[in-house]
Amino acid sequence: MYDARQIANWFVGRAAADNRRLTIMQLLKLVYISHGWHLEMRHSPLIMNKIEAWKFGPVIPDVYNAFRGQGVEVSKQVPAPPSPLAPSDAHLLEQIYSGYGSLSAQRLSALTHEPGGPWDIATKQWGYFAPIPNELILPHYQQKRQGASA
Protein backbone atom coordinates (compact mmCIF):
# COMPACT_ATOMS: atom_id res chain seq x y z
CA MET A 1 0.00 0.00 0.00
CA TYR A 2 1.04 3.53 -0.72
CA ASP A 3 0.40 6.91 0.78
CA ALA A 4 -2.22 8.53 -1.46
CA ARG A 5 -0.03 11.65 -1.81
CA GLN A 6 2.57 9.50 -3.58
CA ILE A 7 -0.05 8.29 -6.08
CA ALA A 8 -1.28 11.86 -6.53
CA ASN A 9 2.30 12.98 -7.18
CA TRP A 10 2.57 10.31 -9.87
CA PHE A 11 -0.46 11.79 -11.66
CA VAL A 12 0.89 15.34 -11.28
CA GLY A 13 4.18 14.23 -12.86
CA ARG A 14 2.45 12.25 -15.60
CA ALA A 15 0.24 15.21 -16.56
CA ALA A 16 3.29 17.52 -16.54
CA ALA A 17 4.98 15.16 -19.00
CA ASP A 18 2.06 15.95 -21.34
CA ASN A 19 2.36 19.70 -20.60
CA ARG A 20 -0.91 19.53 -18.67
CA ARG A 21 -2.07 20.46 -15.23
CA LEU A 22 -4.77 18.64 -13.34
CA THR A 23 -7.31 20.31 -11.13
CA ILE A 24 -7.41 19.20 -7.53
CA MET A 25 -10.78 17.55 -8.24
CA GLN A 26 -9.33 15.59 -11.17
CA LEU A 27 -6.41 14.53 -9.00
CA LEU A 28 -8.66 13.33 -6.18
CA LYS A 29 -10.86 11.35 -8.55
CA LEU A 30 -7.91 9.76 -10.39
CA VAL A 31 -6.40 8.56 -7.12
CA TYR A 32 -9.79 7.21 -5.99
CA ILE A 33 -10.47 5.45 -9.31
CA SER A 34 -6.97 3.94 -9.25
CA HIS A 35 -7.64 2.62 -5.76
CA GLY A 36 -10.96 1.12 -6.87
CA TRP A 37 -9.47 -0.68 -9.85
CA HIS A 38 -6.51 -1.87 -7.77
CA LEU A 39 -8.94 -3.38 -5.26
CA GLU A 40 -10.83 -5.09 -8.07
CA MET A 41 -7.79 -6.43 -9.92
CA ARG A 42 -5.37 -7.20 -7.09
CA HIS A 43 -7.78 -7.73 -4.18
CA SER A 44 -5.70 -5.35 -2.08
CA PRO A 45 -5.84 -1.61 -1.42
CA LEU A 46 -3.61 0.73 -3.42
CA ILE A 47 -3.67 3.45 -0.76
CA MET A 48 -3.74 3.35 3.01
CA ASN A 49 -5.42 6.74 3.49
CA LYS A 50 -8.99 7.38 4.55
CA ILE A 51 -11.52 8.12 1.81
CA GLU A 52 -14.54 10.24 2.68
CA ALA A 53 -17.85 11.06 0.98
CA TRP A 54 -17.78 14.83 0.44
CA LYS A 55 -20.40 16.83 -1.44
CA PHE A 56 -18.59 16.57 -4.78
CA GLY A 57 -17.68 12.92 -4.45
CA PRO A 58 -15.04 10.74 -2.85
CA VAL A 59 -12.17 12.71 -1.34
CA ILE A 60 -8.92 11.57 0.24
CA PRO A 61 -8.47 14.29 2.90
CA ASP A 62 -4.68 13.78 3.05
CA VAL A 63 -4.43 14.53 -0.68
CA TYR A 64 -6.85 17.44 -0.54
CA ASN A 65 -5.03 19.05 2.38
CA ALA A 66 -1.60 18.54 0.80
CA PHE A 67 -2.54 20.10 -2.56
CA ARG A 68 -5.23 22.67 -1.72
CA GLY A 69 -2.71 25.45 -1.11
CA GLN A 70 -1.86 25.37 -4.84
CA GLY A 71 -5.32 26.54 -5.84
CA VAL A 72 -7.67 24.90 -8.33
CA GLU A 73 -4.91 23.68 -10.68
CA VAL A 74 -2.11 21.62 -9.25
CA SER A 75 1.31 22.65 -10.51
CA LYS A 76 3.79 20.76 -8.36
CA GLN A 77 4.24 17.62 -6.37
CA VAL A 78 4.03 17.61 -2.57
CA PRO A 79 6.15 15.86 0.07
CA ALA A 80 5.14 12.23 0.44
CA PRO A 81 6.70 9.23 2.11
CA PRO A 82 9.12 7.69 -0.40
CA SER A 83 8.20 4.20 -1.44
CA PRO A 84 9.20 2.60 -4.72
CA LEU A 85 6.26 2.07 -7.04
CA ALA A 86 5.98 -1.55 -8.13
CA PRO A 87 6.12 -1.90 -11.94
CA SER A 88 2.65 -3.48 -11.97
CA ASP A 89 1.26 -0.52 -10.02
CA ALA A 90 2.97 1.98 -12.33
CA HIS A 91 1.39 0.12 -15.25
CA LEU A 92 -2.04 0.34 -13.63
CA LEU A 93 -1.62 4.09 -13.02
CA GLU A 94 -0.62 4.55 -16.66
CA GLN A 95 -3.77 2.70 -17.73
CA ILE A 96 -5.91 4.88 -15.44
CA TYR A 97 -4.27 8.03 -16.79
CA SER A 98 -4.82 6.86 -20.38
CA GLY A 99 -8.46 6.02 -19.76
CA TYR A 100 -9.52 8.76 -17.36
CA GLY A 101 -6.78 11.41 -17.36
CA SER A 102 -8.26 13.53 -20.14
CA LEU A 103 -11.75 13.65 -18.59
CA SER A 104 -12.92 16.90 -17.06
CA ALA A 105 -13.28 17.29 -13.31
CA GLN A 106 -17.06 17.39 -13.78
CA ARG A 107 -17.07 14.14 -15.78
CA LEU A 108 -14.86 12.39 -13.23
CA SER A 109 -17.09 13.66 -10.44
CA ALA A 110 -20.16 12.31 -12.25
CA LEU A 111 -18.47 8.90 -12.61
CA THR A 112 -17.90 8.75 -8.87
CA HIS A 113 -21.49 9.83 -8.07
CA GLU A 114 -23.19 6.89 -9.76
CA PRO A 115 -26.49 5.86 -8.16
CA GLY A 116 -25.85 2.81 -6.00
CA GLY A 117 -22.09 3.45 -6.01
CA PRO A 118 -19.89 3.73 -2.92
CA TRP A 119 -20.27 7.53 -2.57
CA ASP A 120 -24.05 7.31 -3.00
CA ILE A 121 -24.39 4.53 -0.42
CA ALA A 122 -22.10 6.24 2.11
CA THR A 123 -23.85 9.61 1.87
CA LYS A 124 -27.32 8.06 2.12
CA GLN A 125 -26.39 5.89 5.10
CA TRP A 126 -24.07 8.18 7.03
CA GLY A 127 -24.13 11.65 5.42
CA TYR A 128 -21.39 13.86 4.05
CA PHE A 129 -17.85 13.33 5.34
CA ALA A 130 -18.61 9.69 6.14
CA PRO A 131 -15.86 7.20 5.41
CA ILE A 132 -16.13 5.19 2.21
CA PRO A 133 -14.78 1.77 3.20
CA ASN A 134 -13.12 -0.66 0.82
CA GLU A 135 -16.07 -2.99 1.49
CA LEU A 136 -18.23 -0.57 -0.54
CA ILE A 137 -15.60 0.22 -3.18
CA LEU A 138 -14.59 -3.34 -4.11
CA PRO A 139 -18.05 -4.66 -5.12
CA HIS A 140 -18.67 -1.48 -7.14
CA TYR A 141 -15.55 -2.04 -9.26
CA GLN A 142 -16.31 -5.77 -9.53
CA GLN A 143 -19.71 -4.81 -11.00
CA LYS A 144 -17.98 -2.40 -13.38
CA ARG A 145 -15.73 -5.23 -14.59
CA GLN A 146 -18.70 -7.57 -15.05
CA GLY A 147 -20.58 -4.88 -16.97
CA ALA A 148 -17.59 -4.27 -19.25
CA SER A 149 -17.23 -7.97 -20.06
CA ALA A 150 -20.95 -8.59 -20.60
Tens digits of residue pLDDT in 9-38: 999 999 999 999 999 999 999 999 999 999
pLDDT at 65: 97
Of 33-37, 44-48, 133-137, 143-147, the one with minimum mean pLDDT is: 143-147
Report the candidate in 49, 14, 36 with the shortest Cα–Cα distance to residue 111: 36
pTM greater than 0.85 = yes
Beta carbons within 8 Å of 47's beta carbon, 6+ residues apart: 1, 2, 3, 4, 7, 31, 35, 60
